[in-house]
Amino acid sequence: MQRVTPPLSGERFTVVYRFSGNREDAQAKAWEACIEQTVEFPYELLPAGDIPEQIIGRIESMDAVDENSYEAHISYAVEAAGYDLVQLLNIIFGNTSIKPGVRVEKFELPESMLSRFRGPRFGREGLRTLLNAPERPLLCTALKPMGLSVQDLAQQAYQFALGGIDIIKDDHGLADQVFSPFEERVKRCAEAVERANQQSGYHSFYMPSLGLRADQLLEKALFAKRHGAGGLLVPPGLVGFDSMRMLADNDELNLPVTMHPAFVGSYVTSATNGFSHYALFGQVARLAGADASIYPNWGGRFSFSKQECISIVAGSQDPMGHIKAIFPTPGGGMTFERMPELLEVYGKDVIFLMGGGLHRIKPTLVESSRTIREMVENI
């Protein structure tokens, strides 16, 4: 009998997968995942002992969801995930991502694993404190369109902040292009928002987009911090989930992080492969340190359903040990006209991200911003 050294704790974490097919298919797929996500080795050749008994995944339950899909709880040894996000995601969905007919619905981690993750540094409460907004819905907008000069973007930032938008972020398409280089943009936009705050008495902040080279990511984030950025917009699909976690965990940065969904869409556009919206935009976002999670709202330019958006809210706040609740941040085609409906669904614990729509409400950006600010202050 081969024992693993050092001895395994016996503690396990659980991933809830949905497998497509009839019971027999689903059972076979679940068993494949138990092997594929761990040893990737012919079962019959495994040395007897801990490896087949503990290291490989274990099907804890298997329940029909409907005629053609089954939900299985598969548990894995905590030691297999090595206590870091990269290897945890690898165990949850690494090679299995390449198989059709399997979707990660959610996961449950014991305290021994959760304690290794800081999670969101600020969370809902911390972000509300920073913005001096104890109760109301928060507001976010994006500087755009791509191609504008730094001066034009900074002027926009000033107007939005003056009108009371809480978080003024770069459009995620603003990277380090020649027409608005990162450093210059950050300095000017942060300065513009600060100038507006002095006049307005608000606590708005500028949040640059960090869709940047891996070897410059931390350095440019620190530059942004030094020059007055109040938060960081991070697209983990482009830079890696653990890079977002690294930025969120950095004590010198000490800034709230917002996750942008660019390049992660393929994980959620299939009903039969990938992640549930709950798991990706809620659970994974939190574990990776995001304080707010942007996703395309239903009825806008994208195809998420109302139900899927509501599941993201649940994922952003369902208990996960000490891991804080974060802000669902619906965007993508939001308009002023839809605000009453959205307020009804989302309530107050939300950040509304309105980009292009904010250019249509009133003749000026300041007035448009004031109009929506008044609306959320008076609900």
Give residues 288-307 in contact with a second copy (rule: CB under 8 A): 296, 301-304
Q: How far is the CB of 319 from a second copy (least distance, A)?
A: 26
* Identity of the residue, 147 or 340, whose beta carbon is nearer to a second copy in the bound complex: 147
126 touches a second copy (CB under 8 A)? no
Q: Is 96:34 a contact under the CB 8 Å cutoff?
A: no
x-or-dash string of contact with a second copy, 322-341, rule CB under 8 A = ----------x---------
Which of 171, 190, 352, 368 binds a second copy (CB under 8 A)? It is 171
DSSP string computed for 218-265:
HHHHHHHHHTT---EEE-HHHH-HHHHHHHHH-TTT---EEE--TT-G
Taking CB under 8 A as the binding criterion, the range among 15-23, 60-68, 241-249, 305-313 that sits at the site for a second copy is: 241-249
Which of 214, 307, 344, 363 binds a second copy (CB under 8 A)? It is 214
Q: Beta partners for 273?
A: 102
* Identity of the residue, 124 or 172, whose beta carbon is nearer to a second copy in the bound complex: 172
Which of 153, 246, 292, 351 binds a second copy (CB under 8 A)? It is 246
Of 94, 76, 100, nearest to 11 by C-alpha is: 76
C-alpha distance from residue 156 to each of 149, 211, 335 (Å):
11, 21, 18
Residues 60-119 binding a second copy (CB under 8 A) are 79-80, 82, 84-87, 89-91, 93-100
| Alpha helices (H) in 65-149, listed in sequence order | 85-93, 111-114, 123-131
**Which residues make Cβ contacts (< 8 Å) with residue 87, sequence separation at least 6?**
80, 81
Q: How far is the CB of 313 from a second copy (least distance, A)?
A: 18
Which of 119, 163, 235, 299 binds a second copy (CB under 8 A)? It is 235
Of 232, 245, 239, nearest to 287 by C-alpha is: 245
The amino acid at 49: G
Residues 13-52 binding a second copy (CB under 8 A) are 32, 36-42, 45-46, 50-51
